[in-house]
Amino acid sequence: MDNGTVLAIGGKLNTGIAQDTFYRYDRRYGRWFDCHLKLPTARWGHACGIVREHGWQKKLVVIGGGNGTYFNDVQILDLKTAEWSQGTIYVGKRK
């Protein structure tokens, strides 16, 4: 992915059904593309961002959201391998 890419991950239909979809918008082509990836759990109202690990490995981090039940979780997608893993939520003071 480059600076011309926008991701749309999950969401909710007008019918109230949570989505597990994963799309990217490429401004070079002016259209959306299906990434053929799915969130581990369909959700809306979550936060997400891309972070770098070890300087070059990009990971997508998805936090919280819900689908009628609120989630207290962190899902991490390795953008190189397209594999999801469960993150850890830390509560309290940072050391």
Instruction: Kindly list the domain boundaries of the chain, sorted by start residue.
Output: 5-86
At residue 91, the pLDDT reads 74
Give one word for 54, left, alpha or beta, with left for phi > 0 and alpha for psi -120 to 50: left
At residue 54, the pLDDT reads 76
At residue 94, the pLDDT reads 64
> Rounded CA gap, 26 and 10, in Å?
18
Low-confidence ranges of the chain (pLDDT < 70): 1-4, 94-95
At residue 48, the pLDDT reads 93
Which residue shows structure tokens 């994963």? 22
pTM for the model: 0.83
The backbone torsions φ and ψ at residue 40, rounded to the nearest 5 degrees and listed phi first, read: -60, -35
